Amino acid sequence: MKKQVKVVAAIIENEKEEILCALRSPDMSIPNMWEFPGGKVENGESLQEALEREIQEELGCSIRAGEVFNRNVHEYDSFVIELIAIKARLLEGEPEPKEHAKLVWLKQEHLPSLVWAPADIPAVEELTPSR
């Protein structure tokens, strides 16, 4: 059976109504694809705790994680991911790409212009206005 992972990902919006998008670096798994920053939930953590920890580690800023926005189960070649996208707001600091190749802030309608990790497509579609 394929390994199962539970991953939380942050949908962080700034005051210009732009959303933070992160490019996975060539040496990460699922390389060179865009994602919402986050990572795996560890044993004993709530979804919100996991997300707040991952963002501090990866982007060096603090957030407050809010409600779940989208949940999607996606089967990759070597594992199955449950991706849980959670709305979050910045509390302190500016996001810095400590592990990612690049960070960009994009308006919701421009999100589909990026090449997203396949597991993220439902969350991107839910965020994107239909016209």
Ligand X SMILES: Nc1nc2c([nH]c(=O)n2[C@H]2C[C@H](O)[C@@H](COP(=O)(O)OP(=O)(O)OP(=O)(O)O)O2)c(=O)[nH]1
Name which of 12 and 36 has its Cβ closer to ligand X: 36
Q: How far is the CB of 43 from ligand X (least distance, A)?
A: 12
DSSP state of 11: E
Alpha-carbon distance 40 to 131, whole Å?
33
Name which of 12 and 81 has its Cβ closer to ligand X: 81
Name which of 78 and 131 has its Cβ closer to ligand X: 78
Q: Which two tokens stand for residue 73?
A: 């189960």
Binding residues for ligand X (CB under 6 A) = 7, 9, 29-30, 35-40, 81, 83, 117, 119-120
The H-or-E segment that residue 6 falls in is strand 3-12
Name which of 10 and 90 has its Cβ closer to ligand X: 10
Q: Which two tokens stand for residue 20?
A: 């933070």
DSSP lists the bridge partners of residue 34 as: 23, 116
Q: How far is the CB of 83 from ligand X (least distance, A)?
A: 5
Q: How far is the CB of 58 from ligand X (least distance, A)?
A: 7
Name the residue number minimizing CB distance to ligand X: 39
Could you tell me which of 96, 34, 25 has the C-alpha nearest to residue 59?
A: 96
Q: Which two tokens stand for residue 62?
A: 């603090």
Identity at 28, one-letter amino acid code: M
Q: How far is the CB of 30 from ligand X (least distance, A)?
A: 4
